[in-house]
Structure 1
């Protein structure tokens, strides 16, 4: 039947896209963005170059890979390299305490939500810089600015509400923290900022938004 044929074609297309994105992700992490070619992605995915291009050019594929990695980081299913975790060398609470005084469990929890993203950036610094540049050039709306952003901000606002901040202010602060996080990553991409410096900058923003007490 025509409907079954359409479903079959859609299924094949999605499976091909999955192979292409998986192959691109492996090559980007292994060799970096600039050394990875569309032809190499096609070879790894065992498809034609044309099939790769139907999923997107190299910049689009990089953004789609980051959408996948960010989703896994938010879900807690992405395992960061051990060397990156030890590179930070400081617990979330210690970062906030060093800059703002005694930390709360909520402050530490909020920083813990962001740390995997900062650590991923540190583990793949050159690739993340290429990703930041791609975001500036590619049209469309990556998931990082859409569904993934909404999910992360929900987690942040829930934590803020739990310490007595009103829902309206918690939503506003969650949005501001999310924007601070992105701003720090873009600033890191354009400078020689270190993982420690990026984490401390985010810690100061978290401390500001959690120390304010607003009426319900």
Structure 2
């Protein structure tokens, strides 16, 4: 009985936290990070300010929101903005010979497709994403983007690399390097005037390097 009571309280607490993060996510997307207050989050979630603060300050909550969005992007439950034609047609027979490198294989195209939703989400919510990058520098702990989410995406990357004949050890190493490249691009984007096209170019260049160089080892 005691155990069931503890589990019930734990479940209710988790549901309340989920409601708080959901409310914050909607407010951040609608009003931005700076204009959203803890009090507004509490009101939207129908909880006390103290209950919101028990989850964390605004930095922690923003990081939790991005963990949620990234997780939804990875598992396909988040619908990203409509992809621009210039991006969706990269690597196809467009006849365009200038611009960033283009995927030269199905695997390169597949790897780029894995990263595009995240890059496009960042571009769609650029100011909020810059606040996220800054919050990541201030928050202590280990966000899911460095934990379970990283493991999941790197596993997908590794499987794709192994499918073209790269041995498992090199595939895992390249998957980790590609993931680090992706995070590095996001942080560089947050600190500079990098555009979405620039970010895609940088990501694709890393993909091309790892698929071409590693495949010969």
Aligned length: 214
1:63 paired with 2:63, answer yes
Q: Which residue number in structure 2 is paired with residue 93 of structure 1?
A: 91
* Contiguous gaps of at least 5 residues in structure 1: none
Q: Which has a greater percent of helix?
A: 1
Equivalence for 1:177: 178
Seen in structure 2, the aligned counterparts of structure 1 residues 102 and 86 have a Cα distance that, compared at 3 Å, is closer
CA distance in 1: counterparts of 2:132 and 2:139, whole angstroms: 10
TM-score by length of 2: 0.92
Distance in 2 between residues matched to 1:101 and 1:197, nearest whole Å: 13
Q: Which moved more, 1:95-104 or 1:9-18?
A: 95-104
Number of the residue aligned with 1:36: 36
Alpha carbon RMSD of aligned pairs, Å?
2.0
Runs of 4+ more than 3 Å apart: 87-90, 94-102, 213-216
Q: TM (normalized to structure 1)?
A: 0.93
Distance 2:200 2:174 in 1: 18
- State the Cα deviation string for residues 150-192 of structure 1 (Å, max 9, x = none): 1100000100100111111111111110011110110000011
CA offset digits 1:95-149 (Å, max 9, x no partner): 9995446610000000000000000000000000000011111000000001100
For 1:1-216, what aligned pairs fall within 5 Å after superposition?
A: 1-82=1-82, 85-86=83-84, 88-93=86-91, 98-100=99-101, 103-214=104-215
Provide the rounded CA distance (Å) in 2 between the counterparts of 1:96 and 1:131: 36
Q: 1:5 to 1:106 in 2, by over 3 A?
A: same
